[in-house]
Structures are given as C-alpha cells and as structure tokens.
C-alpha cells in the first residue's frame, strides 16, 4: 500500500503530529547531526518490523535506539557504568553510539536477536522533542533504502522512501554527514565497531585508557555475493552486523585512485578522456587537500547528486586512513565495492 508521505517542519504542531504517528506505530523520518534516521517506537516490535520492510533491510542487522535524556538509558539497559557515563557527559548529544547490555524488555527485533543494544542521543532539537513528545524511544536506522547512500537532506529521504513512510521531519541539512561512531562498551576494553566523526583518540582520552578498533574495519574484502554480502575468507567477521553488507552504493561505477597525487591526477585525466570516447560521463571527487570533516559532510550528498545527473563513472581520490579520514574511507571503500586503482 502506498502511503501519502507528508513533509513536516519543526513547529510544535509538526512535532505533535509526528509524535501521534509514532504513538500509533507509524514511521517518521527525523533529522540528526549525522544523517536522517527512520523512526519508529523502539518498544513496539510491530512498528520496528515495518522499518525493516520500508528500508528493505536484512533482519539480522540491528538498529540504534535514540534517546533524549540520560535517564532514558535505564529503559534499555540495567546499569550505566562509569565509562559509559564519561562518554555520555562528553559526547552526548552527539555522533556517538554505545553498544550496551540489553534489558529483556527491548524487543529482539530491534537488536537483531542479540542481547546487546546500541544507543545514542542525537544532537538535533526537533528529534529530541519528538522523543519527549511521543514518550517513545526511537529506532533510527539511516532513512535510505538499504544499500543506497545515506540521506543528509529531507529530499534524499523523500527520493528513497516516498510512499513507504507516513512523514518526514525536515530539519537543517546534516552537519556531520556520515553516521555515528559505534563503540562496544560491553567489555573492559571498549571497541570501535564503526568509525565516525568521534575518533578512537578522542574516546581514549576521555576514558583514560586504550580503545580498540574492530580489525574487520581495516580489512578489505574482495567481492560481494548476489545478496550484497561481503565475501572473503573466514576471517572477515565484523562485530557490527551492518558492516558486512554492501552499502552506500551509487548507481554509477565508482573507482578509488590511490598513489602519488600527481600521478593519480594524470591517470584520472587520461582515463576520463578514454571513457569519454565511449560516451561515458565521468565525474571526480577530489579529496587531496580537503579537510576530512568537510569530505565527510559532502560525501553521501555528492554521490546522490551524481546519480541524479546520470553520471556513469565516479573517480574518487583517497584520504589518509586515520581520524575522520578513516571513517570517510570506510564508506568510500563500500560505495566503490572495493574497486581500487593503485597508481604506481
Ligand atoms: O548516525 C547514526 O548512527 C544514524 C543516525 C540516524 O542516528 N543511524 C545509523 O543507523 O547509522 P544504521 O542502522 O544505519 O546503523 C547502525 C549500525 C549498524 O552497522 C549495526 O549493525 C550496528 O550499528 N549495531 C546496531 N546495534 C548493534 C549491536 N547491538 N551490536 C553491534 N552492532 C550494532
Ligand atoms: Mg545505514
């Protein structure tokens, strides 16, 4: 059934209306500082199932629960540890998600069957208001069709989900532009499961101890099977289930160029000319001199723009794989399906 997707603003009336949809078990996309999320009442298993259906998302890929107040933590987990509190005090509201032990009350459809749950407090007033007004904690996967680039504007959400959800709250465009850092807090040594705007170094500093990185983040699998699952050897087992899927893919073919910057520019220019002779339209994403935060902010929006313009091939230059650069490269590798051209 096709729904009449309404685009809402952020007035009190809009938020009240959106909250009524959530309370009735419907779906509302909401703005955050990272990317737009697709919201439903996290404690209503049926509503959560609708989110998987609307996105076409595999059901073993768990969702983040969005909260508006520190005390909401105790609705999903039994105990807030000292380490968790330190991160909450420093980074919330903000682009950090913590994986913590899940209370039995949290529907297992939210956690993909796991006994842990991912939680974050987004830095977006309309979304915090929506949580408070509805009285519901919200699941919020990125509000795109599964596999597509994540949405950083309300119109990106509408492009993907029009007719599939009840409403979209249009807020400011997302200032971070890539999804939150996901850190597993269930063992003594925290582990980053998905890199993001908040870096390993920042987490380490606040906690006063070492923070690990899931080794799968840096591993480059070779191919995707027909279901979009990354296929490699036995060792590729990312701990965040979502990290094993093909992701963020533009319609265009995408190639990442690495190597000496001058040689890369030459190689790209040459190949662009060659391809033009075959009638292919090539566009480039140059990250050489760009500050990684800027690259993060533009990345997904740029992919969507090129798709709209029917670009055939996207050439992208790589960023250094540390700090926020690592988070951008993690997305870029997946967008390109690990299609990498090493220029010697
Ligand atoms: O910035 C964000 O985090 C955005 C905005 C909307 O808040 N949301 C987002 O959600 O990116 P999603 O569903 O696209 O990504 C959630 C990631 C997935 O990689 C998922 O596998 C992982 O978090 N995750 C969720 N729950 C988990 C759990 N219990 N254990 C391990 N990984 C988990
Ligand atoms: Mg996503």
- Per-residue pLDDT of 248-300, as tens digits, reads 889 999 999 999 999 999 999 999 999 999 999 999 999 877 899 999 999 99
Put simply, whether the predicted model's pTM sits higher than 0.85 gets the answer yes
Phi, then psi, of 131 in degrees rounded to 5? -65, -45
Q: What is the DSSP letter of 22?
A: H
**32 within 8 A of 127, measured Cβ to Cβ:** yes
The DSSP bridge pattern shows strands 212-213 and 253-259 to be: unpaired
pLDDT at residue 240, as a whole number: 80
Q: Which ligand is nearest to the CA of 194?
A: 1
Residue 141 CA, ligand 1 centroid: distance in Å: 6
- ∠ CA 87-291-261 to the nearest 5 degrees? 135
pLDDT digits (tens, 9 = 90+) for 129-162: 999 999 999 999 999 999 899 999 999 999 999 9
Q: Which ligand is nearest to the CA of 300?
A: 2
Continuous segment of H or E residues that includes residue 133: helix 125-134
Q: What is the DSSP letter of 17?
A: H
pLDDT at residue 140, as a whole number: 96
| Residue located nearest, by CA, to atom 33 of ligand 1 | 240
Rounded CA gap, 24 and 127, in Å?
17
Which has the closest alpha carbon to 75: 135, 124, 142, 16? 135
What the block records as the tokens of 101 is: 């032990």
Burial 22-49 (b: 16+ CB within 10 A, else e): beebbbbbbbbbbbbbbbbbbbbeebbe
Residue 118 CA, ligand 1 centroid: distance in Å: 7
Burial of 344 (0-12, 13-18, 19+ CB in 10 A): exposed
């Amino acid at each position: 059934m096709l729904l009449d997707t309404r685009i809402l603003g952020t007035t009190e009336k809009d938020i009240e209306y959106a909250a009524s949809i959530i309370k009735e078990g419907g779906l509302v996309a909401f703005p955050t500082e990272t990317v737009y999320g697709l919201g439903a009442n996290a404690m209503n298993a049926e509503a959560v199932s609708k989110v998987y259906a609307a996105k076409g998302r595999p059901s073993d890929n768990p969702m983040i629960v969005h909260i508006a107040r520190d005390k909401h933590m105790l609705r999903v987990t039994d105990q807030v540890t000292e380490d968790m509190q330190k991160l909450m005090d420093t980074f919330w509201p903000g682009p950090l998600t913590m994986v913590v032990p899940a209370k039995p009350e949290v529907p297992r459809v939210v956690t993909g069957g796991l006994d842990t749950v991912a939680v974050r407090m987004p830095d977006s007033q309309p979304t915090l208001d929506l949580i408070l007004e509805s009285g519901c904690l919200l699941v919020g996967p990125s509000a795109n069709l599964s596999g597509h680039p994540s949405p950083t504007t309300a119109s990106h959400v509408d492009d993907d989900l029009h007719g599939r959800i009840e409403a979209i709250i249009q807020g400011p465009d997302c200032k971070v532009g890539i999804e939150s850092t996901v850190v597993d807090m269930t063992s003594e040594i925290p582990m980053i499961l998905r890199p993001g705007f908040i870096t390993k170094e920042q987490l380490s500093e606040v906690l006063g101890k070492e923070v690990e990185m899931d080794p799968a983040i840096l591993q480059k699998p070779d191919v995707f099977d027909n279901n979009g699952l990354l296929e490699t050897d036995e060792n590729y087992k990312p701990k965040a289930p979502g990290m094993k899927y093909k992701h963020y893919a533009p319609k265009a073919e995408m190639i990442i160029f690495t190597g000496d910057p001058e040689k890369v520019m030459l190689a790209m220019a040459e190949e662009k000319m060659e391809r033009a002779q075959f009638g292919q339209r090539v566009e480039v994403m140059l990250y050489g001199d760009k500050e990684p935060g800027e690259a993060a902010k533009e990345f997904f929006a740029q992919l969507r723009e090129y798709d709209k313009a029917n670009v055939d091939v996207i050439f992208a230059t790589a960023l250094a794989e540390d700090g926020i650069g690592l988070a951008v490269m993690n997305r870029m590798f997946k967008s390109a399906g690990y299609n990498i051209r090493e220029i010697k």
